[in-house]
Chains A and B, each alone.
Chain A
Amino acid sequence: QITLKESGPTLVKPTQTLTLTCTFSGFSLSTSGVGVGWIRQPPGKALEWLALIYWDDDKRYSPSLKSRLTITKDTSKNQVVLTMTNMDPVDTATYYCARLESGTDYYYGMDVWGQGTTVTVSS
């Protein structure tokens, strides 16, 4: 059974750096084609993709947030960490991590999601 779980602070102050950890089980991030992505959803609004990291350490970022994001993985701990700098109240959202698989000629979508973690940005 594949599971993912997000963890991190529930409250951060403006200008601070947010660090979120996605801890997963049931798959390996050293398997060819496998990746983990981060997605957020402000209250009452749409999903927004943030970043993803692949088994081979290939990293992709949302163009609009690229300067503020860093994604890393620790394969031995089955964890993916996302940091977002210079937090602002508009970054208040539920943050999800999700597993995905893709290759040269396939993309299976984000097939398993974590439950999400709510982050509020306020002084």
Chain B
Amino acid sequence: QSALTQPASVSGSPGQSITISCTGTSSDVGGYNYVSWYQQHPGKAPKLMIYEVSNRPSGVPDRFSGSKSGNTASLTISGLQAEDEADYYCSSYTSSIVFGGGTKLTVL
């Protein structure tokens, strides 16, 4: 079971929108709508931001949205804010769990 593929880094200016991709296979991302996204600030535990591809837990701003097309899932953050600067990880759940390699978001 290989890790999901994410870009190492993305960046954007405050107020802009960015998208982070997460590519897997038909056996994980493409086969099930069980993609989650996690935000992790330095030295902190990860925080669930999106589950089941596009659902937001209570308390997560609607600036965060998720989608999926084929074997690639995406996390979009609109109206970037300085506090969004963090590492982001995608994850797929099937009979087991696999994470992506993580993407560092820099807010310029």
Write the chain A residue with the least CB distance to B4: A46
CA distance A61 to B96 in the complex (A): 7
The reply to whether the CB of A11 lies closer than 8 angstroms to some CB of chain B is: no
In the complex, chain B residues whose CB is within 8 Å of the CB of A52? 97
| Cα–Cα, bound, A47→B22 (Å) | 14
Given contacts A60-B96, A107-B34, contact A46 B48 (CB under 8 A): no
- For B, the interface residue count at a CB cutoff of 8 angstroms equals 25
B52 touches A47 (CB 8 A): no
Please name the residue on chain A nearest to B33 by beta carbon: A107
- By a beta-carbon cutoff of 8 Å, the part of chain B in contact with chain A is 1, 3, 34, 36, 38, 40, 45-48, 50-52, 57, 89, 91, 93, 95-102
CB-CB under 8 A from A60, the residues of chain B are: 95-97
CB distance from B99 to the nearest CB of A (A): 5
Task: Give A62 Cβ to nearest chain B Cβ, in Å.
Answer: 7
**Who on chain B is nearest to A115 by CB?**
B45
Tell me the nearest residue of chain A to B40, going by C-beta: A47
Closest CB in chain B relative to A98 CB, distance in Å: 8
Q: Is the CB of B101 within 8 A of A46?
A: yes
Q: A109-B48, A114-B45 are in contact. Are A102 and B93 (CB under 8 A)?
A: yes
Q: List 13 A-B contacts (CB under 8 A).
A: A47-B89, A49-B98, A60-B95, A61-B96, A64-B1, A96-B45, A102-B34, A102-B93, A106-B52, A108-B51, A109-B50, A110-B38, A113-B45
A48 proximal to B (CB < 8 A): yes
Convert A76-95 into 0s and 1s, putting 1 for each residue whose CB lies closer than 8 angstroms to a CB of B.
Answer: 00000000000000000000
Which chain A residue lies CB-closest to B87?
Answer: A46
